[in-house]
Amino acid sequence: MVMRCLLLMSIGLFSFISEADSPDWSNYAKLLGHYVVKKNVNNHQQHWVSYSKLRQGSLFYNVVRDIQYFPLHRLHTREEKLAFYINAYNILAMKMVIEHWPVDSIKDIGYFFSPVWEKPAGRLGRKIVSLDEVEHKILRPMKEPRIHFALVCASIGCPDLLQEPFTAEKLDQQLDHQVTHYLNSNKGLVIKSGYIRVSKIFHWFAKDFKAQGGVDKWIRRYRRDLPLNLPIKADLPYDWSLNGQ
């Protein structure tokens, strides 16, 4: 009986440790469910963030606390790291907006010689990071171009915020969803004047798509309906207006 109890306790302890390895996204899931809604913007359904309401309660600050105190050494797999840092980037972008409220655009928080992307955005582990550090020094080196459709810099031109946290278990499906959704929106792709116009994301980060065949081939993998005789140009205007109010 004693041995059986010890065995059950060991199993319970092992389960607890294993579960603790994964971030608890319950607060973030609640935030996305309550404060991100669908709204018609520029004749397109946009996921709209209620920044003014978010800053009034404690939920958002609990979400920031969750990523700030999560022990980063528990992120072992590539999927765990991608999911965590994508969520962290999106949370920190919202944090910048909320801390400087009211703003019409996240870019208003900075200026030419000190852009918002390079300003301290928050703490992850023991280090204070900027949005640029999370995107360019942590995420982009992982060689996953789909991150550019998951990262949301609080702007209308960005991909929509996914209305659930990214997780290691669902990451591949979630990233594919984000790419498909964006490339079927009028801020991601339109056919006009004899060519296919796509978001400037494909111009800014062309290098990231090169390893997977280049921008043209990569886009057509997700939009097989595109006319083969039309060239693709990454020149759609990017709307930096705030993706909420």
The percent of residues above 90 in pLDDT, for the chain, comes to: 86
pLDDT recorded at residue 22: 82
Separation CA 222–CA 29 (nearest Å): 27
For range 123-131, the mean pLDDT: 96
**Residue (of 207, 202, 172) closest to 187 by Cα position:** 202
Separation CA 51–CA 106 (nearest Å): 12
The helix (run of H) or strand (run of E) holding residue 233 is: strand 232-236
Separation CA 216–CA 35 (nearest Å): 36
pLDDT in tens, 128-160: 999 999 999 999 999 999 999 999 999 999 999
For range 205-215, the mean pLDDT: 96
Q: Give this prediction's pTM.
A: 0.91
Q: Is 188 helix (H, G, I), strand (E, B) or coil?
A: coil
Which sign does the torsion angle of CA 84, 90, 176, 138 carry?
A: negative
Amino acid making up residue 183: L
| Cα distances (angstroms) measured from residue 27 to each of 32, 59, 127, 208 | 9, 7, 22, 32
pLDDT recorded at residue 41: 83
For range 239-245, the mean pLDDT: 97
- When the pLDDT of each residue in the chain is averaged and rounded to a whole number, the result is 92
pLDDT recorded at residue 44: 80
pLDDT recorded at residue 13: 37
pLDDT recorded at residue 42: 75
pLDDT recorded at residue 45: 86
pLDDT recorded at residue 226: 97
DSSP-assigned beta bridge partners for residue 233 = 197
For 232, phi then psi, to 5°, come to: -110, 130
| Least reliable range by pLDDT among 15-24, 59-68, 185-194, 229-238 | 15-24
CA angle 26, 31, 35 (to 5 degrees): 160
Kindly tell me the burial class for residue 7, based on how many C-beta atoms sit within 10 Å of its own C-beta (0-12, 13-18, 19 or more): exposed
Q: Is 96 helix (H, G, I), strand (E, B) or coil?
A: helix
pLDDT in tens, 3-56: 444 344 344 433 333 444 789 999 999 999 999 999 988 778 899 999 999 999
pLDDT recorded at residue 150: 98
Does the pLDDT value for residue 244 go beyond 60?
yes
Separation CA 47–CA 181 (nearest Å): 12
Q: Which residues, at least 6 apart from 73, have a Cβ–Cβ distance to it below 8 Å?
A: none
